[in-house]
Amino acid sequence: MLIPDTHKVAATGRGKVVSIRGSVVDVEFVGGLPPIYSLLHAGESSQIIIEVMTQLDARRVRGIALTPTQGLARGMSVEDTGGPLRAPVGKQIISRMFDVFGHAIDHQPAPLDVQWRSVHRAPPSLSERSTKSEIFETGIKAIDVLVPLERGGKAGLFGGAGVGKTVLLTEMIHNMVGHQQGVSIFCGIGERCREGEELYREMKAAGVLPNMVMVFGQMNEPPGSRFRVAATALTMAEYFRDDEHRDVLLLIDNIFRFIQAGMEVSGLMGQMPSRLGYQPTMSTELSGLEERIANTRAGAITSIQAVYVPADDLTDPAAAHVFSHLSASIVLSRKRASEGLYPAIDLLQSNSKMATPGIVGERHYKLAQQIRRTLAQYDDLKDVVAMLGLEQLSPDDRNVVARARRLERFLTQPFFATEQFSGVKGKLVSLHDSLDGCERILRDEFKDYPESALYMIGAIGEAQKPAAPAATGAAPSTRSEPASAHET
């Protein structure tokens, strides 16, 4: 159902402010009470927006302000807009940046010819959902081979500052546009304004802005605003999936801040906190958001969510509840980033529920297991190599180290998103080519090639055998150190 813009809805009732405690505002109405989630406008120019959260009695409602409450006073008039928070949808919103209310924040005119829809929507019914498990190909070798993503699924991206989260997200947006003919939506929850501005410039420079929408609820905004911004982005994503029948890539940074904003709202509303101070409704709120991200007959919303793990404690209630919704976990490693092995994905820590023979196929599954086994054996041998040198290993172990190091380098990839910095043309690699390359490395077809020949290439056919004798080219694989910063 199409719902008009909130600004054009005639007021259905008037009330007055009876109490203000920070972002919590109590309003008294003489006539009927507005329903839960209704938007109220207050202040001299109706610039203060309040969302009704609960009805206290027959005459009073309690709401959370989605904007700062400076200037609001008891006795001030309040106007009921007659509807909930709405988001703009339509083809005109592409390449634009919005706030939680659907206002353009990119210093350009408001988009014309858009429809406004409520952000409070039910997840697709079971009859509408697609029951087929499909792989979402990203064109990134390390992800497609070892951590396959689910079309219409949710993947968590774990990593600190400076290890390449934004670059990886930008590359996925680029590949989504070129490879899947889809649209990308970036949702920043509790983002620093600097991060949002930098991301906007990076997306513009990488040439992916014409096929994406950005929605931000910044760090300095009230908790109510940060709590609702994900629903605004998801409403836009649902339009492209259901009306345009396009695949959507929804990037959320950071899903923990959504839970954090909900915790603030819950505390302001006076609810009794649950374990570790989290809101008692955390599981319901998170599920209400995550269940809307689904694969239907019309199209699919595939989500990649940055996840902050408090104090690196995976048993924290916030992390545990997010994990239960994810179909894949991509862990970024600072150590691999320092070695120049980009994308800096920790191949042993990362995992996916899709990596089963019934979904990816017998060959892919066995190959992925063999790669993991080889990398795990190499990980165990690293200390021995560092202390005693490669020469002290048995011939079999030396072969394992050589294979693992070549696999690590083959699973690096030049990105389109970094072309302007590195000068190396980006590569999109099909799953078939990625599996073929890994299989041939494991069969020792490239043991006479130097490791550097496999670094930052696309398909395995791009590896160049040096003109010099193999003995000189193979030197890197007999060095004793476990990592190769200068190799890269």
The catalytic residue positions are 165, 191-192
* Residue 149 buriedness (CB in 10 A; 0-12 / 13-18 / 19+): buried
In order, the DSSP letters of 249-272 are EEEEE-HHHHHHHHHHHHHHTTPP
Euclidean distance between CA atoms 362 and 408, whole angstroms: 23
> Can you read off the two tokens belonging to residue 257?
């801040």
Do 157 and 142 form a contact (C-beta atoms < 8 A)?
no
Do 79 and 44 form a contact (C-beta atoms < 8 A)?
no
In order, the DSSP letters of 64-118 are EESS--TT--TT-EEEEEEEE-EEEESGGGTT-EE-TTS-B-SSSPPPSS-EEEE
Q: Which amino acid is at 391?
A: E
Place of tokens 């959260």: 53
> How many residues are listed for the chain in this entry?
488
Do 371 and 442 form a contact (C-beta atoms < 8 A)?
yes
Place of tokens 């991301």: 199
Place of tokens 């894949």: 328
Do 23 and 224 form a contact (C-beta atoms < 8 A)?
yes
Q: Which amino acid is at 410?
A: F
- Nearest-10 crossing angle of helices 431-442, 395-410: 160
Place of tokens 């003919």: 181
> Can you read off the two tokens belonging to residue 473?
């080219």
Euclidean distance between CA atoms 399 and 404, whole angstroms: 8
